[in-house]
Every structure is written in C-alpha cells, then in structure tokens.
Amino acid sequence: MDEIYRIAVCDDDREQLDKMEEMLAVYAQQHPQVEFKTDLFSDSRKLVNMVEEKAYLPDLMLLDIYMPEKTGIEAAQELRELGSDCRIVLITASEDHALEAFGVGASQYLLKPVSEQTLFPVLDSLLDGTGFGSIRVIEEKIASMSCKAAVKGNNKISVPEAETLIDELLTLDNPYNCPHGRPTIVTMTKAEMERKFKRIVN
C-alpha cells in the first residue's frame, strides 16, 4: 500500500463514534488498495492539543459541531490558526452553522444521521482528489442554503425587515437574480400595477 490515510473522528456521543467507526471499516474493506487508520476522540480539546504538540497529524477530521467543551467550529478555527491544512468535515443535526463551517475551511458539511450514502462520496472525493473544498462545491452549497433560507410565499415580514433585505440585496454585484438564476427584482409599469390591482379593466 502506497499511502496511509489517518482519519480522526471526534464526537462526544459514544454511539455516534461507534457508528462512524463501523462505516469507515466498511469503506476500508471496499478500498483495499488504501490503508486507513481511524482514531476516535470524545473531546475536541484533546484532539486540538495533540495537533498543536505535533503528536498527531491526521489527513481528515470528522468533527461533530455540538460538543460541550469546545464545538467543532471552534476546534476547526483553532486548527486553522495552528496552520493545519487537514481536510475537515463538520457533522451536525442542524443546517444553522453551514456558513460558519465554510468560514473555517471545512471541505464538507454533513447532516445527521450520517449514512454510508452521504459519507462514502466524501471519502471518494478524498481518494480521487476531486471535489474536496473546491470553489464550485462550496458555491453550490451556499446557493442551496440561501434558497432554503429565503423568504417564502405567504411569509409575513415587517417593513423594517423588508427594507433591510432590499438594502442588502442592492449591495450585491448582481441583485437581479438568486444564485440559481431566479429573478429577485421585477419591474412593472404604472399601468401594469393598476391592472393587477383591478384599477384598469380591459
């Protein structure tokens, strides 16, 4: 075997650690040409300290975000400040921290429950060297999150909230479309407005 991929899994939930270890073992069996070494951590502080002391240099870290002493986001930030360029995958039950995840250079963001169907493509990207942390992947994820977080039809917002959204929209290079190309600004003539409000009847 030419390479050894050392993978650190950090989660304060023992059941989640065991489940992740089992999935990584299955993946290793499917890829006998690569040697994997999996290390389990229940405390993110210990993981960060070992990296800081140069006692541990993994190729990939799978970090749970919600941990009591130090969150996965905080751990990832400290690792980057230490100069670690290790690939980081953040795992959580919520999408709320997705933008923060990319802000600390996370390569991927997985939602619980993690399955072989969601984990294995990430590992495939690691092995073939494509898709990990690429600008296109990050932009696609941010675009998807933006659309999910957008104000939907029949959602009521206050006038100040609407004004803030418009002010922020107008600061963009392209305020006219969402990341997927849908229009965000529509122009109408006075006559068209009056027709829609039944002021003009054809």
User: Tens digit of pLDDT for each residue in 130-172?
Assistant: 444 444 445 555 666 666 667 777 778 888 888 888 888 888 8
pLDDT of residue 117: 93
Question: Which of 5-19, 85-99, 122-136 has the weakest average pLDDT?
Answer: 122-136
Alpha carbons 34 and 16: distance in angstroms, whole number: 24
Looking at the chain, the whole-number percentage of residues with pLDDT higher than 90 is: 25
Considering the entire predicted model, what is its pTM? 0.62
Q: Which residues of 39-49 are buried (b: 16+ CB within 10 A; e: fewer)?
A: ebbbebeebbe
Higher pLDDT, 36 or 176: 36
Measured between alpha carbons, how far is residue 145 from residues 36, 91, 97, 129 in Å?
32, 16, 11, 25
Residue 53 has pLDDT above 60, yes or no: yes
**Residues near 99 by Cβ (< 8 Å), separated by ≥ 6?**
142, 145
Alpha carbons 180 and 169: distance in angstroms, whole number: 15
Instruction: Identify which of 108, 101, 166 has the alpha carbon closest to the alpha carbon of residue 133.
Output: 108
Hey, what domains does the chain have and what are their CATH numbers? 4-147 (3.40.50.2300), 159-196 (3.30.1540.20)
DSSP secondary-structure letter at 33?
T
pLDDT of residue 47: 92
